[in-house]
Structure 1
Amino acid sequence: MHYYIQKLPMEKVLRDPIHNHIFIQHQVILDLINTREFQRLRRIKQLGTTSYTFHGAEHSRFSHSVGVYEITRQICDLFERNYPSVTDNDGLWNDDERIVALCAALLHDLGHGPYSHTFEHIFQTNHEAMTTKIITSPQTEVNQVLRQVGPDFPAKVASVIEKTYPNPQVVQMISSQIDADRMDYLLRDSYFTGANYGNFDLTRILRVMRPYKGGITFDLSGMHAVEDYIVSRFQMYQQVYFHPVSRSMEVILSHLLKRAQHLYAKDRLQLKGASEFLVPFLTGDHTLTNYLELDDGVLNTCFAVWRNSGDEILSDLACRFLDRHPLKSVKITPAAEKYLPTLESLINQAGYPPEYYMDTNDSYDLPYDAYDPSASKPRTQIELSQEDGSLVELSAVSPLVKSITGKVSGDNRLFFPREMLAMTDQNDLFAPVYAKFKQYIHNGAVVKPS
């Protein structure tokens, strides 16, 4: 369906450290940005606890979302100029798809909650499902703006995010192994963390993108730019996203929320101020309105209240999180897993209840994988277009990408109170416990005691 989309009399510009300028050309995009639900993303950090490791990583879901919109806008412009559709079903770009692509790009992260993934794990929410709900619910400002385009338009935008939209070109712009979402967050996260691993040649990648019936492909001549992107993503996961300190702070956050949940069930959680916003989630009976009232600031205010709680564990975990006192972590090899019950017992003997002061956390990523239809979540592989028009999968022509294709990278770590490795006086009550614990830790890993 062709929609009448009102253009602004003069485009508006947002200054951006990654893209220099973000160009707003349509009234619907400006109206969506100005909705209550989209403005909420200013109050949710893009990288959650990573700012405890990389202090510059204070950027928000808002800035990332407008960045994804801008990359998608540039892709649409390039496709319209270079690959416009001439006849139906020719596999080229139909610019009637532009507005649904731009809206989906802008709104793709709308459903993220505070400290996104940790919050989701504890309270069993799902940011993608919440994004769809916000877009399709008549009670939201976002839905009201989208319905001005057409009564069926909110459902179309939601279907892009759900990957059920019939045009694979639009879906792959927003969600694939090389999409506007990933390209923006790699560049943005690299810039704000100060880690240069995420830099790649965005301009070159956009120049070699082209539409075809099955989605989006890349000119073979641009293979090295795509390789650079794959390696950049691999490096960012290893050096930034999987950093042990960031994961440690996630563990503390998770255990802090778990303790609050436990105390609430026992009617022992002090509720005042911001804490009341969490009640629907502590009871498991929350509405969309309840969800949209939450942001990082609300949770941080709860933690500030809990710092002075009469519950020693809740107070201590809140202090550890707010004051940045991460747990210590070491790698766990498969051979060392049998020692974990012993270490758990020692942590308990030292006065730290293991359910709140010990955890194992495995963080793994698949940098790139070829399409496997039998996989539980098959990935859209990266296709390169050869001179004769045929397509070839990236790892088939790139030895570099082939070397990491299908290979999971990451590690499994044990997290525990740093105090377990403290130097103690022989008269200290827990000195024997600490000494025994330290026999299992060597060179940053759990080992067989000597």
Structure 2
Amino acid sequence: MIKKEREQVFRDPIHGYITVSYEIITEIIDTQVFQRLRRIRQLSGVSMVYHGAEHSRFSHSLGVYHNANRFLEVPDLRNTLTEREKLLFLSAALLHDVGHGPYSHAFEDIFGVDHEKIGARIIVENKELRNVLNKVDADFALDIASIILKQGKFPLLEQLISSQLDVDRLDYLLRDAYFTGTAYGNIDIDRLIRVMRIKNGQVVFKVSGIHAIENYLISRYHMYWQVYYHNVSRAYEVILEKTYLRIKDLLEEGYKFKADVSALKEVINNPNNLDYYVLIDDFYINGLLASFLNAKDEILKTLSSDFLNRNIWGYLDVNSKNEEKISEIKNNMSDTERRYFTESRTVYQSTYKDEATKLGDKIYILLEDGSVKTLFEESKMIESLSQSGSKLDLKFFYRKKWKNRYM
């Protein structure tokens, strides 16, 4: 656990200077699997709505690492963790997204992979990264993977990495708000860190910081509906998912692609093949789609053109009012057209849920007398929003038809 003679710095638009004190953190950043995150957008299709949202998983991961470093300034946490656990926390924060596929969740939905499970395997099995992590000790990579998978070996670190209020969310809300130009994600991270405490192995927040927590949760709620679940973004990602589906179907049919789809083919046939998985990023997918503009298969050609040229599909709320219209659209399509040019999707988001039972799924408030209660018990605003601040949105997406063709 060698520290640098002179700190390395990254200049970040959100956090200012991000400092690196340990040699091993620099070595992790320099690995190929971590550098790959430069080539994966953080927000996938959101850039079709907010054109500034071009930032990467790489910059977000550095931001999460920075937040972990800031959390270690909290005396309770600094005095609780050993030197190895501190480095474990920083490394897990840095590597928490290393398993993401191209354009994030669209890839997972079609090809049946889980970025956290893939990430844990990359941490343990990738030779270059594992050689770096083994410099701490032989179990270091395994322990990082256990935190990513929330296996309960390091419950405190798991809460800090992934919970209702964690180092991950505190970066992506700020970062995504900045690059989309929206104000919803502006949260008082300084105050949240200042009021954080550790009590009986549990992350708690002083009651004096409850307003900052309320603001954080409301901001998170608005970010989901105004940014992450924006209808245009969802429609755009549906196009990509349908393109993936067409590629998958054509591979199964033995279609002869002119482009080199070998990496994608290997992952489809065996999602556990990490050597090929790490070759696939946004750049790879964009190159394939560009080549498909000249494909003989009209469906593949059409979908690729829609995605690359922002031909956003139509969408309707799934309700009794639109039931007849949705049926009409489907009935005017063949089975093949319905498979590739329509999709129904549901998203759900609540301001705060107090029903969870897993460690880290609730936010706990430390009262003046030293007792601990849940945020739901202490905040009338959150109590009210837990009951009313939930939203379910069902949408039907479809490719618009003109000239009696889908093209």
TM-score (norm 1): 0.85
- Residue 291 (structure 1) shift: 0.4
Aligned residue for 1:24, secondary structure, equals strand
Partner residue in 1 for 2:47: 51
Q: Which residue of 2 aligns with 1:69?
A: 65
Corresponding residue for residue 367 of structure 1:
351
Q: Cα distance 1:216–1:94, how it changes in 2: closer, same or farther (>3 A)?
A: farther
Q: Contact (CA 8 Å) 1:167, 1:215: kept in 2 or not? A: no
Q: Which residue of 2 aligns with 1:231?
A: 218
Q: Is the 8 A contact 1:57 1:192 kept in 2?
A: yes
The 5 Å alignment of 1:137-148 reads: 137=125, 139-148=126-135
Shift in Å, 1:93? 4.7
Matches of residues 20-419 of structure 1 in structure 2 within 5 Å? 20-79=16-75, 85=79, 92-137=80-125, 139-273=126-260, 275-284=261-270, 287-333=273-319, 336-337=322-323, 340-348=326-334, 353-373=337-357, 380-405=361-386, 407-419=389-401
Which structure has the larger Rg over C-alpha atoms?
Answer: 1
Q: Is the 8 A contact 2:99 2:115 kept in 1?
A: yes
How many residue pairs align between the two structures?
A: 404
- Measured in 1, the distance between the counterparts of 2:180 and 2:392 equals 20
Distance 1:378 1:171, change over 3 A: closer
The one-letter code sitting in structure 2 at the alignment partner of 1:220 is: V
Contact 1:174 1:181 in 2 (8 A): yes
What amino acid is the match of 1:120? E
Amino acid at match of 1:413: K
Match of 2:6 in 1: 10
Secondary structure of 1:163's counterpart equals coil
CA contact (8 A) 2:4 2:21 kept: yes
* 1:149 aligned counterpart, secondary structure: coil
Q: Deviations over 1:179-229 (max 9, x none)?
A: 000110000000001111111101010100111224210000000001110
Take 1:379 and 1:52, find their aligned partners in 2: how far apart are those partners?
Answer: 34
Q: 1:14 to 1:243 in 2, by over 3 A?
A: same
Secondary structure of the corresponding residue to residue 184 of structure 2: helix
Q: Report the secondary structure of 1:305's partner residue.
A: helix
Between the aligned residues of both structures, percent identity stands at: 38
Q: Which runs of 5+ in 1 are unaligned?
A: 86-91, 421-427, 431-450
Contact kept, 8 Å, 1:76 with 1:95, in 2: the verdict is no
Whole-angstrom CA distance in 1 between matches of 2:231 and 2:294: 28
- Helix, strand or coil at the partner of 2:291: helix
Q: How far apart are the structure 1 equivalents of 2:222 and 2:13?
A: 22
Amino acid at match of 1:39: Q
CA contact (8 A) 1:370 1:379 kept: no
Q: For the Cα contact (< 8 Å) 2:162–2:360, is it kept in 1?
A: no
SS in 2 for 1:412: strand
Deviations 1:224-247 (A, max 9, x none): 001110001000001000001110
Measure the CA separation in 1 of the matches of 2:180 and 2:90: 27
Please say if residues 204 and 364 of structure 2, whose CA atoms lie closer than 8 Å, have aligned partners that are also in contact: yes
Q: Secondary structure at the match of 1:329?
A: strand
- CA positional deviation for 1:397: 1.7
| TM-superposition CA deviations, 1:303-332 (whole Å, max 9, x none) | 011111111111011000000001011211
AA partner of residue 52 (structure 1): M
Distance in 1 between the 2:280 and 2:271 partners?
A: 15
Classify the secondary structure of the residue corresponding to 2:53: coil
1:162–1:285 Cα change, 3 Å: closer
Q: 1:135 to 1:282 in 2, by over 3 A?
A: closer
Structure 2 residues not aligned, in runs of 5+: none
CA distance in 2, matches of 1:61, 1:429: 41
Q: Secondary structure at the match of 2:157?
A: helix
Following TM superposition, by how much is the alpha carbon of 1:372 offset from its aligned partner in structure 2, in angstroms? 3.2
- Alpha-carbon distance between aligned partners in 2 of 1:381 and 1:286, rounded to the nearest angstrom: 33
Distance 1:378 1:410 in 2: 26
12-21 or 398-407: bigger deviation? 398-407
CA contact (8 A) 1:261 1:282 kept: yes
Change (3 A) 1:249 1:26: same
User: How far apart, in 2, do the equivalents of 1:291 and 1:73 lie?
Assistant: 30
Aligned AA for 1:202? I
